[in-house]
């Protein structure tokens, strides 16, 4: 069992606020991903849970017990870093075994536990190799096995895939997802990669400048972003966002006119829609603008068009072709549009 509660957890260095009133309950066995751009406070939040960073204000509780002042070694958490931190002169077996020695687990248990952990990450055949004789992906799996072997209640993972190449990242990602399911351990995972977050998480916490912007399932975050920051951060490409004016349910901006929107708000708005919710049409489209670029994706073509100063992405059929500068029209269904307050950034 490990339910983690963060109660208004704040980290300040002098007047600089690294993490501001982080308030969340993470139920037992949840896979929670902290997502946000560099410097948003993800790592600091995780380090406070691990006990590697003092909490300035607020409380951290595990299963109802306050752990703010508990030594890192007395917290039942195992951390996996992006740098792996393996001991170069120990072989894989001894690297995985190391936490058992440190924790004075009876020697008689070591062999079975090391073998079980190494089998889970498919390293059985590499136990006698030194880290230098392994690929990056294999080293990362040693780091995972070393966390697994402790059988902790909580896993903390800080960008564990960032040193791997794109292909290995995808396969190791699948392995981590599978492991977390098998181990049934509360996991907090830090990344700035929104695809990693969406594919791994039960819930995602989107952070910016030390402040939690939204907490939700990947679907909630994708379908109903709480504000402009989340809308612009999630999705590949991110949501199209344009400034314009709403009047009587009609949005108008350069090259764009969309009718049938909610009519209970008049004035300047930021309108958002996703590339896949729009489509290229021969005429009568809500968007009418010249092609800016075409990207062939294999299963589709991403068309961008320049509307005023804004680049708008529209996902088109894989056979769609046009020259740069050609006029195109796109249908943007009103029911797929999001409206944001341009001042506060909040979803209207
Ligand atoms: P990244 O993805 O780059 O690792 P992050 O979201 O994990 O970023 P943190 O490492 O948590 O960000 O840092 C949050 C903010 O706190 C940053 O602006 C950072 O410069 C600042 N910060 C971190 N450690 C300290 C420190 N010891 N003293 C002062 N400021 C710090």
Residue 177: per-residue pLDDT: 84
From 47, 1, 46, 50, select the one nearest 27 (Cα to Cα).
1
Mean pLDDT of 294-308: 94
Q: How far is the CA of 21 from the centre of ligand 1 (A)?
A: 16
Testing ligand 1's pocket by substitution, the residue of 16, 20, 37, 44 carrying the most ligand atoms inside 8 A of its CB is 44
* CA distances (Å), origin 198, targets 22, 144, 160, 219, 304: 21, 21, 16, 8, 24
Residue 162 DSSP label: T
Q: How far is the CA of 59 from the centre of ligand 1 (A)?
A: 20
Q: What is the pLDDT of residues 119-154, one digit of tens each?
A: 888 888 899 999 999 988 888 889 888 988 988 889
Q: What is the pLDDT of residues 246-295, one digit of tens each?
A: 999 999 999 999 999 998 889 999 999 999 999 999 999 999 999 999 99
CB-based contacts of 266: which residues, under 8 Å, 6+ apart? 246, 247, 248
Task: Determine whether the shortest distance from the Cβ of 44 to ligand 1 is under 6 A.
Answer: yes
Per CATH, the number for 237-340 is 2.40.50.140
pTM of the prediction?
A: 0.90
Q: How far is the CA of 89 from the centre of ligand 1 (A)?
A: 31
pLDDT greater than 90 at residue 161: no
Q: What is the ipTM of this complex?
A: 0.95
What is the rounded distance in angstroms from the CA atom of residue 324 to the CA atom of residue 38?
34
Residue with token string 């009609």: 250
**Delimiting residues of CATH 3.40.50.300 domain(s) in the chain:** 4-232
Return the bridge partners of 247, or none. Answer: 250
Q: Which CATH class is domain 4-232?
A: alpha beta
């Amino acid at each position: 069992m490990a339910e983690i509660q963060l109660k208004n957890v704040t980290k300040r260095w002098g007047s600089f606020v690294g993490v501001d009133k982080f308030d969340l309950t993470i139920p037992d066995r949840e896979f929670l991903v902290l997502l946000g751009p560099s410097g948003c406070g993800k790592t600091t939040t995780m380090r406070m849970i691990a006990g590697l960073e003092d909490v300035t204000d607020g409380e951290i509780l595990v299963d109802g017990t306050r752990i703010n002042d508990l030594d890192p070694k007395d917290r039942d958490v195992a951390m996996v870093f992006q740098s792996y931190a393996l001991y170069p002169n120990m072989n894989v077996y001894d690297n995985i075994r190391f936490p058992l020695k440190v924790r004075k687990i009876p020697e008689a248990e070591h062999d079975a536990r090391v073998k079980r952990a190494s089998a889970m990450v498919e390293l059985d055949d590499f136990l006698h190799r030194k880290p230098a004789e392994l690929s990056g992906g294999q080293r990362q799996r040693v780091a995972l096995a070393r966390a697994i072997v402790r059988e902790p209640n909580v896993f903390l993972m800080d960008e564990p895939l960032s040193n791997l190449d794109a292909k290995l990242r995808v396969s190791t990602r699948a392995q981590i997802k599978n492991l977390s399911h098998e181990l049934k351990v509360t996991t907090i995972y830090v990344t700035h990669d929104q695809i990693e977050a969406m594919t791994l998480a039960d819930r995602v916490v989107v952070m910016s400048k030390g402040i939690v912007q939204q907490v939700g399932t990947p679907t909630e975050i994708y379908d109903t972003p709480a504000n402009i920051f989340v809308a612009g951060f999630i999705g590949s490409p991110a949501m199209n966002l344009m400034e314009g004016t709403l009047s009587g349910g009609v949005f108008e901006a350069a090259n764009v006119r969309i009718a049938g929107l909610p009519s209970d708000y008049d004035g300047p708005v930021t309108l958002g829609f996703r590339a896949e919710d729009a489509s290229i049409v021969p005429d009568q489209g809500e968007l009418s603008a010249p092609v800016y670029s075409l990207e062939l994706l294999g299963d589709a073509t991403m068309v961008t068009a320049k509307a005023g100063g804004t680049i708008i992405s529209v996902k088109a059929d894989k056979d769609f072709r046009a020259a740069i500068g050609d006029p195109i029209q796109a249908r943007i269904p009103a029911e797929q549009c999001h409206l944001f307050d341009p001042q506060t950034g909040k979803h209207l």
